[in-house]
Structure 1
Amino acid sequence: MNNFNDELHEIVLSEDGSFTAYSKEYDEHYHSTKDGAMKESLQKHVFPAFKIMQKKDEINILDICYGLGFNTLATLYYYKKNSLTSKLNIYSPELDATLVSSLKNFTYPKEFDEFKYIVLELSENGVYSDDFFYIEIFVGDAREYVRLFKNKFDIVYQDAFSPSSNPALWTLEYFSDIREAMKKDGVLTTYSIALSVRLGLFSNGFIVYINNIEGIRDSTLASQVEIQECVKVDMNHKISCNPNAKPLMD
């Protein structure tokens, strides 16, 4: 298990057999220990996003936030397993520089073994590039980083710590910046099904969808355009049933 644990992080085995970590600073795990770290990344983020987006020649992804890197690495795993040919560009903010540098010591699932050299490069330099992948970790404030981009992203993995622990990355104003950074036909994925989160998306012009997954808890998809194969959440009905509900605000 190497030397990943420190005063702020503790490695934890999740129920699908993959390891996640507990953040003592945020008092939360990086993934659902019940759903499993690997399963959560694939089924709540990668699978639904690429079901919609994989036919593009180039795919730009915003991974909020990098954390342990599961969403990025699960994307590479999916790419290789399905013999995709798109160029992938992944941009990911992460506030914790110490965490990023320690990831070379993290115990990842065996499915990520072929990407160890990428993990090492990202841990040491924050950037990896080859003919197929460009990956950039920005160490700093995610909201400042998001504002650097306009009409850029095909996919957004909205995977920050929960609204109760990290509210700044779930507000109405934050989702306005996310909308500006996304392409019109882009898709956002998130584990959160909280009404306040969905209201933040809906109030910014997103159509909200339910990602129903057998064996693990539901999650949310959102886009500014109709996605035919997805089940829409009736947000007007939700609002009428919860008239006092509001999105989080800055």
Structure 2
Amino acid sequence: MQRNLIVTKDGSHSVAIPEWEVSYHSVYGAVQESLHVFIESGLKYWLDKHTSASRCVIFEMGFGTGLNALLSILESKRRQRKIMYETIEAFPLEQSITRELNYCTALEQGFWQPVFDSLHSGEWNSTQHITNFFSFKKIRSLLADYTPGEPVNIIYYDAFAPSAQPELWTKEVFERMLNILAPDGILVTYSSKGDVRRALLAAGFSVEKIAGPAGKREMIRASRK
């Protein structure tokens, strides 16, 4: 499978797969999309509603470029809130791509470049203690083979678009996601397709359509009914 580094409209990198006609992020801006969908609508939303929680457990479906993990580290540090972050990836990016990703430069956070590099170079299936507030574990696994160690407060559902991987957007998959979610948990995803919404509802989620990032009218935030 060919994967190519591309520059999105906000100047930050993403990765395109020509064969599938998809990219890892919105072409309107990788950083702006991840900030809006996963940080603003997911992490910040949950933290603001749970100010006394001792920690937040995040599961990311699809580690990809590592951008969502980096942004979560920065938010954890800013708020001094503890986060346990676990992510799976079946097909990791090549080093020739990951070492070129410009997220720390785009965010004007050059200090964090060695940390970002370590997310990609660190051992699989082993917990890294990134800061006093952030622990990180990446697992080489398909979603069907994954079971978390404990209930999850936030699911970053960042699979490729339903047109490319329809098998990851089914009622059965979302039933599994509901089963790993803590009672106060939420799932956020960039997709707002009708089929996705209906699959989430059929799986037992309560679904909220909210404003999407640049170039996209809506996204989904879902929780237990």
Q: TM-score range by the shorter chain?
A: 0.7 to 0.9
Hey, what does 2:198 align to over in structure 1? Answer: 199
1:134-169 Cα distance to aligned partner (Å, 9 max, x none):
111111212211xx1376111011111011211222
Equivalent residues in 2 for 1:1-250, closer than 5 Å: 8-34=2-28, 36-54=29-47, 55=51, 56-80=53-77, 83-99=78-94, 102-110=97-105, 111=107, 112-126=109-123, 127-129=127-129, 130-145=131-146, 148-149=147-148, 152-213=151-212, 215-217=214-216, 218-225=218-225
Q: Distance in 1 between matches of 2:191 and 2:213?
A: 17
One-letter code of the match for 1:69? G
TM-score of the superposed pair, with normalisation by structure 2:
0.86
Q: Distance in 2 between matches of 1:101 and 1:108?
A: 15
Gaps of 5+ in 2: none
Secondary structure, aligned partner of 1:203: helix
Is the 8 Å Cα contact of residues 57 and 85 (structure 1) preserved in structure 2? no
Is the 8 Å Cα contact of residues 150 and 182 (structure 1) preserved in structure 2? no
Gaps of 5+ in 1: 1-6, 226-250
Larger Rg: 1
1:63-117 Cα distance to aligned partner (Å, 9 max, x none):
111111111111122333xx31221111111111343785233222422433222
Is the 8 Å Cα contact of residues 67 and 99 (structure 1) preserved in structure 2? no
Distance 1:100 1:140, change over 3 A: farther
One-letter code of the match for 1:169? L
One-letter code of the match for 2:11? G
Is the 8 Å Cα contact of residues 154 and 182 (structure 1) preserved in structure 2? yes
Q: Distance in 1 between matches of 2:66 and 2:60?
A: 9
Q: Distance in 1 between matches of 2:172 and 2:82?
A: 31
One-letter code of the match for 1:65? G
CA-CA distance at 1:133 after TM superposition: 1.0
Distance 1:214 1:131, change over 3 A: closer
Q: Distance in 1 between matches of 2:74 and 2:6?
A: 22
One-letter code of the match for 1:157? Y
Is the 8 Å Cα contact of residues 41 and 71 (structure 1) preserved in structure 2? yes
Secondary structure, aligned partner of 2:207: strand
Distance 1:29 1:210, change over 3 A: same
How much is the aligned-residue C-alpha RMSD, in angstroms? Answer: 2.1
Percent identity of equivalent pairs: 25
Distance 1:216 1:98, change over 3 A: closer
CA-CA distance at 1:213 after TM superposition: 4.4
1:35-65 Cα distance to aligned partner (Å, 9 max, x none):
x100000101110113332122200001111
Secondary structure, aligned partner of 2:161: coil
One-letter code of the match for 1:223? S
One-letter code of the match for 2:134? F
